Amino acid sequence: AKKAGGNVFAYYSPEMNEAAVERLMTKSKLKRAFERDELLVHYQPKYNLATGEVIGAEALVRWELPERGIILPSDFIPIAEETNLIVEIGEWVLDRVCEDFRYWQRSVPSPGRVSVNLSLKQLRQANFINRISAIMRGYGVSPTSLELEITETTLMENPARTIKLLDELYALGLHLAIDDFGTGYSSLSALQQFPISTLKIDKSFVRDIAVNPDDATIVGTIVHMGRSLKMDVVAEGVETEEQLAFLQTLDCNYVQGLLFGDPMSSDNYLELLLAQADG
Ligand code: C2E
Ligand code: CA
Ligand code: CA
Ligand code: CA
C-alpha cells in the first residue's frame, strides 16, 4: 500500500512528513469506508472462569477493506478519535450491537451481557444519554443487557463531570466497566466515586502472570481489590493454559482472550450460544 501511494506524496506540501500524509489519507478513507458501510462489528466471548460458561461478549469494531482484508481498530480508532468520526462510529457500533442482540434474543433466552467500548468524545457528546437510550429502545434491548467500557484514563479526565453522567447511565440500568485497568495510576478512592460494576485487568499485566511473580502479584491484588469492592473482575488477553490456570487460583470472575478463539461474527457468536444451550 505504501508503494501505491508513493507518487501521491509529491502533491502534498514538502514539510508534511510521510506519516502525517498517511494519517490524512487514512482519515478520508476511513470516512468514506464508514459511509460505504465497510465497518463491521465482531464479538469476543467472555467466559465464567469457574464454570467455563459464555456470559457475554465484547463488541470490537473492524474495517474490512475489499483489497486488504480486515484492518484492526488500533490502526484506525486513534485517527477517528482526532475527529468527530469516532462519535459517529461509536454510535453506529452501538446500533449494530442492539440490532444483533435483538436477533440473538429470538433464538436464545439470554445472549449474555454485551460490552461496548466508549471513547471520551462520545461521553462528552451533548445528548449522549438520550441518543443511546433511543437506540436501545428502538431495538427493544434492555439497558441491563449492555455494559459500557470506559478506560481508566478517560474516566479521570474531568472526573466530576464524568461521575454525574455515569450516575445517570447507571440509573438507566446500564453496567459500567473500567477498561485497561492498571494502566492509569488512579487511586482506589478516586475509582470508588464512579458507579462501576466491572474491572477489566489490562492484558499487559495478564501476559506474564505465569512467569513473572511481580505481574502475578499485581493481578492478584487487582482481583482482590475489585472483589472486595463487590465488582466483577475480568482478565483480558488470556492466551495460554498457564495463564488460565493461574487465574483459576484467584477469585477472578471472567476471562476473555485468544485462548478461546478470535473475536467472531454475530452469526458465530449466536452459534456458540446455541451450542451452549444444547449442553
Ligand atoms: P480493548 O478495549 O482493550 O479491546 C481488547 C483488544 O484485545 C481487542 O483488540 C482484542 O481483539 C484484543 N485481544 C483479545 N484477546 C487477546 C489476547 O488474548 N491477546 C492479545 N494480545 N490481544 C487480545 P482490537 O479488536 O484490535 O481492539 C483494540 C482497541 O480498539 C480496543 O482495545 C479498544 O480500545 C478499541 N476499540 C475497539 N472497538 C472499539 C469501538 O467500537 N469503539 C471504540 N471507541 N474503541 C474501540
Ligand atoms: Ca475494551
Ligand atoms: Ca481492554
Ligand atoms: Ca486497550
**66-75 tens-digit pLDDT:** 888 899 999 8
Query: Ligand 1: which residue has its CA nearest to atom 4?
Result: 60
Ligand 1 atom 33, closest CA: 117
Report the Cα–Cα distance between both ends of the chain, in Å, rounded: 47
Give me the mean pLDDT over the 146-169 stretch: 94
Helix or strand or coil: residue 228? helix
ipTM of the complex: 0.97
Q: 207 falls in which pLDDT band (50, 70, 90)?
A: very high
Average pLDDT for 247-274: 97
CA atoms within 13 A on the CB side of 278: 7
Please report the atom of ligand 1 found closest to the CA of residue 60: 38
Query: Which amino acid residue places its CA nearest to atom 2 of ligand 1?
Result: 117
Ligand 1 centroid from CA 146, angstroms: 17
pLDDT for residue 142 is more than 60: yes
C-beta separation of 181 from 210 below 8 A: no
Which pLDDT band holds residue 3 (cuts at 50, 70, 90)?
A: very low
- Please tell me the distance from the alpha carbon of residue 105 to that of residue 225, in angstroms, as a whole number: 34
Measuring from atom 3 of ligand 1, which residue has the nearest CA?
180
Report which secondary-structure segment, H or E, holds 175: strand 175-181
The rounded distance, in Å, linking the Cα atoms of 50 and 148 is 24
d(CA 69, CA 21): 22
CA 275 to CA 234: how far, in whole Å?
23
Residue 15 has a pLDDT of: 59
Give the Å distances, CA to CA, from 187 to 158, 181, 192, 225: 15, 11, 9, 12
Residue 266: predicted pLDDT: 98
Pocket test for ligand 1, best of 236, 262, 264, 269 (most atoms within 8 A of CB): 236
How many CB atoms are located within 10 Å of the residue 189 CB?
7
CA of 52 to the centre of ligand 1 (A): 22
Calculate how far, in angstroms, residue 275's C-alpha sits from the geometric centre of ligand 2.
25
Instruction: Provide mean pLDDT across the span 115-129.
Output: 95
Which range (9-23, 159-173, 180-194, 200-214) has the least confidence? 9-23
Residue bearing the CA closest to ligand 1, atom 38: 60
Q: What is the distance, to the nearest Å, from the Cα of residue 238 to the centroid of all Cα atoms in its chain?
A: 15
Report the Cα 269 to chain-centroid distance in Å.
Answer: 16
Percent of the chain with pLDDT over 70: 94
Ligand (nearest to CA of 94)? 1
Q: Beta 69-71 vs 54-65: how paired, if at all? A: antiparallel
- Identify the pLDDT of residue 4: 46
Span 91-95, average pLDDT:
97
Using a 6 Å CB cutoff, which residues line ligand 1? 44, 60-61, 72-74, 77, 90, 93, 117, 119, 179-180, 203, 236-239, 257-258, 263
Round to whole Å and give the CA distance between 42 and 276.
Answer: 19
Helix (H), strand (E), coil (C) string for 14-59: CCCCHHHHHHHHHHHHHHHHHHCCCEEEEEEEEEECCCCCEEEEEE
Instruction: Name all contacts of 71-75 with Cβ < 8 Å and 24+ positions apart.
Output: 75/26
Query: Considering only CA atoms, which residue is closest to atom 14 of ligand 1?
Result: 257
For 31, the grid coordinates are 470516512
Pocket test for ligand 1, best of 46, 60, 181, 242 (most atoms within 8 A of CB): 60
Residue nearest to atom 37 of ligand 1 (CA): 60
Express the helix, strand and coil content of the chain in percent, nearest 5 each.
50, 20, 30
For residues 116 and 43, is the Cβ–Cβ distance under 8 A? Answer: no
For residue 42, the model assigns a pLDDT of 98
- Residues 100-128, buried b or exposed e (16+ Cβ, 10 A)? bbeebbeeeeebbbbbbbbbbbbbebeeb
Give 8 Cα–ligand 2 centroid separation in angstroms.
Answer: 36
pLDDT of residue 16: 63
Question: Could you give the CA distance from residue 4 to residue 25 in angstroms, rounded to a whole number?
Answer: 13
